[in-house]
Amino acid sequence: MSMDKQPRMNRTGMNLKPGESHEMIDGAMKYPPSSGGDGFVLLQERAVYIGQGEPIGSIPLPLTPRGAVETVKGVATGKQPLIFADRLGERLAFERSGTRLYQGFLGKVMSADTPKGSVSAQEVEEILEDEHRHFLLLRRAIEMTGGDPTAVTPAADVAAVQSMGLVQVLSDPRTTVDQCLCALLTAELADNDGWELLIALADGLGHKDLVSEFEEAFANEERHLMLVRSWVQDFAMSEAGITRKSAAKPTRARGTTKGTTTSTTKRTTRSQT
């Protein structure tokens, strides 16, 4: 599905009928807000609700004796292992949504008249497999640290809300491949930063065994981001009739697990120990 070559009449702009715009302004003036106040009063009102509001969920305590001991030991040294549990839950929720996003996208790509040399269904399937593998990795990591992968942590709850708009874009039958790619770009940008943070937390809390596995997932995510970025640009340039100078396409690095590349991103947040 490509952008409609013969756009239908768009009637959303007021300047389409400048002579009648005064009627819309008159109407707005005729029916003002039902209560007084301004933006500052609104902020004050919101502050009351913020002050009274309960937090979004709670971080579940470890279920296993080992997890409980690790948490107590961490707290005794001034660290908060539960923050790691919260973020593990967040990434789990995100990777679950990511898998669904790419399942939806694969359907779009396979049913669309995609311009040659652009998105390949095979590469989309590879990303889909990566996202699902990351989900399984996180489930195992949560179990290893004594957590319950079925529990919704506060950060997971917020991540699910954030993803709602992206899921809507991908599942809407009217959206085009390039419109879906813009939604996927948003997801991949957040995914990259999310994994980087998780690596820093795992490293700082001494989960050395998880760090290397998380770094492999992060390398996958870097490749996803590069691919999606290049597809977004390919589509926009192609739709605009502009010939794009050839750009290097991310490839799988030799000697790495399927879907991984050599990470070049500086992890400034990681501890140096």
Residue range at the interface with Fe ion (CB under 5 A); choices 39-47, 92-100, 143-151, 202-210? 92-100
Q: Which of 70, 86, 90, 131 binds Fe ion (CB under 5 A)?
A: 131
Of 108 and 134, the one with the shorter C-beta distance to Fe ion is 134
Residue whose token pair is 């799988």: 252
Could you say which of 90, 191, 196, 222 contacts Fe ion (CB under 5 A)?
191
Q: Does 196 bind Fe ion (CB under 5 A)?
A: no
Q: Which CB, 86 or 188, lies closer to Fe ion?
A: 188
Tokens describing residue 114: 């995609």
- Contact string (CB under 5 A) for Fe ion, positions 170-189, x = contact: ------------------x-
Handedness of CA 120, 122, 128, 133 (dihedral sign): negative
Reading phi first (left if > 0) and then psi (alpha if -120 to 50, else beta), residue 78 is in left
C-alpha of 33 from chain center: 36
Rule CB under 5 A: choose which of 119, 224, 238, 260 binds Fe ion: 224
For 195, the 3-state DSSP assignment is helix
CB of residue 99 to Fe ion, shortest distance in Å: 8
Q: How far is CA 48 from CA 34, 43, 56, 58, 145, in A?
A: 20, 9, 17, 22, 38
Which part of the chain contacts Fe ion (CB under 5 A), choosing from 106-114, 124-132, 157-165, 260-268?
124-132
Q: How far apart are CA 191 and CA 49, in angstroms?
A: 31
Q: Rounded CA gap, 228 and 220, in Å?
A: 12
**144 and 208 Cβ atoms separated by less than 8 Å:** no
Nearer to Fe ion, 108 or 224 (CB): 224
- If the CB atoms of residues 211 and 219 are measured against Fe ion, the closer one turns out to be 219
When the beta carbons of 99 and 238 are compared against Fe ion, the nearer one is 99
Q: H/E element holding 23?
A: helix 21-30
Q: Measuring CA to CA, how many Å separate 22 from each of 9, 11, 13, 30?
A: 22, 16, 14, 12
Pick 184 or 205: Cβ nearer Fe ion = 184
Chain residue at closest Cβ approach to Fe ion = 224
* Interface residue with Fe ion, options 60, 81, 98, 146 (CB under 5 A): 98
Q: Which is nearer to Fe ion, 82 or 124 (CB)?
A: 124
Contact residues: Fe ion, CB under 5 A? 95, 98, 131, 134, 188, 191, 221, 224
